[in-house]
Structure 1
Amino acid sequence: MLCEHISPTRRAVLGASGALFAWAFMPRFAHAAGGRDPRFVTIILRGALDGLTAVPPIGDPDYEALRQQSAMRIDGANPALPLDGFFALHPSMRNFQRLFRAGQAAVVHASATAYRDRSHFDGQDVLESGFPSPGHVETGWLNRLLEGLPAGERVAPGAAERVRGLSVGTTAALLIRGKAPVLGWAPSILKPADGDLAPRLADLYGQKDPVLARLLQEGIDTGKIASGIDIKARGGPGDPNGMEQMARGAARLIAHPEGPRVAALAFEGWDTHAQETDRLAKLLTGLDNALAAFEQELGPVWKDTAILVATEFGRTARVNGTEGTDHGTGTTAFLAGGAIRGGRVITDWPGLKEAQLRDGRDLAPTTDIRAIIKGVATDLLGANANHLRDVVFPGSESVQAVKGLIV
C-alpha cells in the first residue's frame, strides 16, 4: 500500500500514476479541541503573492500614491469588494468575501515567514520547511506536525504505518515530505482509459502478484472517490480550472469518513513582475473557486475545517515600469473554513509611509505566519506546544501562538 516516506523522485512517479492507500489505517485525532473530527488544509501560492492587491488597504492615506493607476477603490475605477472599512478585497474573490461575511474566513495582513531576502527558492524552503533559514529541505513542517499528533482511535491494531496526510499534485511539496506516511493523489491529465482496463489488470495481477493486485484496487478505490469532477477544461496548478480540480479531488478524499485529515496543495504562477492586473485577476479567481470547491465538497465536515493559504513573501509597495511588482517582504495570508473565527482582518498594520516601508520599498511584516499556524494546530488539532516549538518550527521560541483563531 502507499504508506511511505516521500522522496521527490518517488513521489513524482506515484503521484502521476494515481493514489494508493488502505482505508483501514486512517486515524482520527484523539485530542482535537471539543471532540471534533477536524481537517486542516495548507495551500501554498508559489511565486509571491502581492498582498496589497489581493487585500488593498483602501483606508491607508498613502495607498493610492504608491499604487497610482492600479490603486483599488470601493467605488469608481478599479472597484474592490468591501471588507471592514479599512481593508477591501480583490473583486475576483467573491466567494471569500461571502465566507468572510459569514464569519468563516479571515485575512492575515502584513505577514511573513522568518525569511527577509528575496529569492523564490530560499523563500519557499523557509515557508515549507518551517526552519528560520533556507537550506533545510529534507522534511516539511506539516509532515513533522503529523508525526507529533496523537494517534486516533481508528488506527488499526498493529498497523506499522498510519496514513495521516494527503499530498496533492504530481510532485509532493517540501511542506509535507518526511517520515509520517502520506497519501499522494494528482488529477489525471491523460485521456481516461477504457472502462475494462482496470478489471483486466486486476484479474492479471490477482493471478500473478496478489500484493500488486491489492495496490491496484486501492488506487482504483481512491480514484473513484476523488474523480467524477465535472470540469470542462483541465489545467495545471497555475491555471484556475486546475486549481479548482485539485481542490475538489482533495476535498472528496479528506471528506471521506476514513480518509486523511490533513492535506497540502501548491498553486503556481504568482510571480507577477509584469502586467499584474490581468494575471492576478485570473490567479485569484482560481484560488477563490478552489476555496468554494472545498466548501462544497466537504459538506458537513466543513464546520470542522481550517484552510491556510500562504506564500513565500510579498511584493514591492510600488508598481514597476512594466505594470507589475517586484519581490518584496510583507504579504497576505488567508484563513477559511467553518472552524475559523472569521469576519476580521488580523494585523498590526505597519503603514505605507516612506519611513514605514521596509528598506523603503516593501510592506513591513508584523505577523509571523508561524504564530498563525501554531494557533490553528493547537486549537484545532490538539498539537503539543513544545512539539510545535522544538520540532515543527525549530528556533521559534519567541513566536507565540495566536489564540482565538478557531471557533
Structure 2
Amino acid sequence: MNMNRRFFLKSGSIALASFGLMSSAPSFLQRTVAQALSASGGRRKTLIAIFQRGAVDGLNMVVPYGESAYYDYRPNIAIPKPRSEDGAIDLDGFFGLHPALAPFEPLWREQRLAIVHAVGSPDSTRSHFDAQDYMETGTPGRKGTPDGWLNRLLQAHNDPHATPFRAVAMTPNMPRILQGRAPALAIQNLSDFTIRTGGNAAAGVQNGFEALYEQLTNDRLLSAAGKETFEAISFLKRVNPNQYKPANGAVYPRGRFGDALRQIAQLIKSGVGLEVAFTDIGGWDTHVNQGGARGQLAARLEEFSQGIAALVADLGPLMDDVVIVTMSEFGRTARENGNRGTDHGHANAMFVIGGATRGGRVYCDWPGLKSDQLNEGRDLALTTDFRDVFGELAQKHLRVTDLRTIFPGYTPAKFRGLLS
C-alpha cells in the first residue's frame, strides 16, 4: 500500500468500510463510515469515467450507415448496413452500433444509453500524448496544466464527510485526470491493496503494510493517527476481495479491464463513499488490419461492451445513482489507409449510461462526411466540445455549480440534455 505523508495528515486515519464485512471492522472505522453515510442520506452519486486509450475509430463504433460516403471511403473495413450479414445494429435509421457492441443494444432500447457523436477536443493535435493530456486536464491546447479536471471537480465540490475512497482509479498509476490537490487513490488490485495517492506523491513503499508503517511511525505529526491507521491497514489485509460474487448473472470479461469494472462495482456496493471512479482500456490504435465487423477492432469492442454491460447488470438498481461516461483522445480518419486500417483523426463518439440519462438517442449536430465537410479534408469534423459533455455530467449528476473552476477559461456552450 503506497501513500504519501500528505494523504495521511489530511485524512487523519483511514476510514473505510469493509468489503461486505463491516461488522468485523475496528470500531472507529464503523463510526466514521456511518457518519459519512448519514450525511449523504445513505446514497451517493457516482461518476465512472472510462478512457479508451489509443483513439478508437468512432465511425466504426457508432456507424453512420446513412452516409453513402462512409462506404466509399472504407471498401474493406466498413460495417455493413443493418439487416445485412454482420450488419450494424440499427439505432435510429441513420446510425448503428458495431455488431460487437451487441451487449449495449438492451441498454439503448431501455433508454439507459445515450451517444454523443462528432465530439472531442477542439485542439487539432494528432499526438496521442498531447490529446490524452488535454482531455484529462480539461484544457485543450494548454500544456502544463498541473491537475486533472476530475480532481478539480473534487476540489470544487468539497465534502466534509468524504472518505479516502471518494476518488479511485483502478489503474497501476495515478492518471492525469485525477492528479491534483484533492486526495485520490490508484489501486491496481483490491486483493493486493497496492495504492498510490494523487498529486505529487513520493516514491511508494512496495513491500507491504508493515514496511509502510515502519517508515511513518517516526514522524511526530503522525503519532496520534498511527495506531488507528495501522489497525485499519491490518483489517484490510484480513478482507478477501476475491470472495466477491457479481449479482444478477453479470459476467465480466477476463483481463484487467473486466477486473477493474468488477472492483468498481464492489466499491460502490460496499458503501465506502465512492464518488468518482476511473479506469482505462487500450488497444484502439488500429493503423493496420483494423478489420470490419470482425477482427482487431471488433475484439476490443466486444471486451469493452461486455465489461460495461456486466457492470450495469451487477449494480442493478444502484445504477440509478451511477453515470458511466466513455472517452477517447480523438477519432480516426474517414478513409481507410493502404494497410486496411485508419490513421489519427479528429472528432469521435462517446457513450453515457445510467443514472438520469435520457438514452435511446444520438446527440449531435452531424457535420457530414462529404469531402468538403471533413476536417482538413480527412476527418469527421467536431461539433461538440468534450467539456460540454463533462460539464453537464458534473453539474447535473454531481451537482457542481461553478464549472469555471473545473474548466478554466471555458464556459460550456452546448449542454445536450443528456440527463434529465
1:68 to 68, 75, 91: 75
Find the counterpart in structure 2 of residue 292 from structure 1: 309
| CA RMSD between the two structures | 3.3
Find the counterpart in structure 2 of residue 404 from structure 1: 417
SS at match of 1:169: coil
2:87 to 75, 79, 101: 79
Equivalent-residue separation in structure 1 for 2:323 and 2:6 (angstroms): 24
Contact 1:27 1:162 in 2 (8 A): no
Find the counterpart in structure 1 of residue 250 from structure 2: none
Q: Deviation string for 1:121-158 (max 9, x for gaps)?
A: 00000010111224235311001101111426x45xxx
Report the AA paired with residue 175 of structure 2. A
Change in 2 beyond 3 A, CA 1:29/1:90? farther
Aligned length: 364
Equivalent-residue separation in structure 1 for 2:373 and 2:127 (angstroms): 23
**What does 1:105-144 align with in structure 2 at a 5 Å threshold?**
105-144=113-152
Contact 1:48 1:271 in 2 (8 A): yes
Change in 2 beyond 3 A, CA 1:247/1:354? same
**What does 1:4-403 align with in structure 2 at a 5 Å threshold?**
22-23=16-17, 24=32, 27=36, 37-72=44-79, 73-151=81-159, 154-155=161-162, 163-187=165-189, 210=227, 213-217=230-234, 219-220=236-237, 224-225=240-241, 228=244, 241-277=255-291, 278-384=295-401, 386=402, 388-389=403-404, 391-397=405-411, 399-400=412-413, 402-403=415-416
Report the AA paired with residue 281 of structure 2. F
SS at match of 1:246: helix
SS at match of 1:302: helix
Deviation at 1:212, TM superposition (A): 6.1
Deviation at 1:392, TM superposition (A): 1.1
Deviation at 1:281, TM superposition (A): 0.8
Report the AA paired with residue 383 of structure 1. V
Deviation at 1:53, TM superposition (A): 0.5
Change in 2 beyond 3 A, CA 1:338/1:170? same
Deviation at 1:29, TM superposition (A): 11
Deviation at 1:115, TM superposition (A): 2.0
Contact 1:29 1:381 in 2 (8 A): no
Contact 1:129 1:136 in 2 (8 A): no
Contact 2:326 2:351 in 1 (8 A): yes
Equivalent-residue separation in structure 1 for 2:391 and 2:302 (angstroms): 28
Equivalent-residue separation in structure 1 for 2:323 and 2:158 (angstroms): 19
Equivalent-residue separation in structure 2 for 1:186 and 1:165 (angstroms): 14
Contact 2:347 2:381 in 1 (8 A): yes
Q: Deviation string for 1:249-299 (max 9, x for gaps)?
A: 112112322331210111112111111121111111111022112212323
Equivalent-residue separation in structure 2 for 1:41 and 1:304 (angstroms): 11
Deviation at 1:164, TM superposition (A): 2.0
Equivalent-residue separation in structure 2 for 1:345 and 1:373 (angstroms): 16
Contact 1:5 1:179 in 2 (8 A): no
Deviation at 1:65, TM superposition (A): 0.6
Contact 2:371 2:377 in 1 (8 A): yes
Equivalent-residue separation in structure 1 for 2:297 and 2:336 (angstroms): 14
Report the AA paired with residue 39 of structure 1. T
Report the AA paired with residue 66 of structure 1. Y
SS at match of 1:68: coil
Equivalent-residue separation in structure 2 for 1:280 and 1:107 (angstroms): 19
Moved over 4 A (4+): 1-7, 25-32
Find the counterpart in structure 2 of residue 14 from structure 1: none
Contact 1:80 1:88 in 2 (8 A): yes
Equivalent-residue separation in structure 2 for 1:324 and 1:125 (angstroms): 25
- Structure 1, 296-305 or 270-279: larger mean CA deviation: 296-305
Contact 2:191 2:242 in 1 (8 A): no
SS at match of 2:75: helix
Report the AA paired with residue 354 of structure 1. S
- Segments of structure 1 that go 5 or more residues without pairing to the other structure are 8-19, 156-160, 191-199, 231-238
Deviation at 1:364, TM superposition (A): 0.4
Q: Deviation string for 1:42-71 (max 9, x for gaps)?
A: 001110010000011001122111112322
Contact 1:148 1:383 in 2 (8 A): yes
Equivalent-residue separation in structure 2 for 1:374 and 1:28 (angstroms): 26
Change in 2 beyond 3 A, CA 1:241/1:359? same
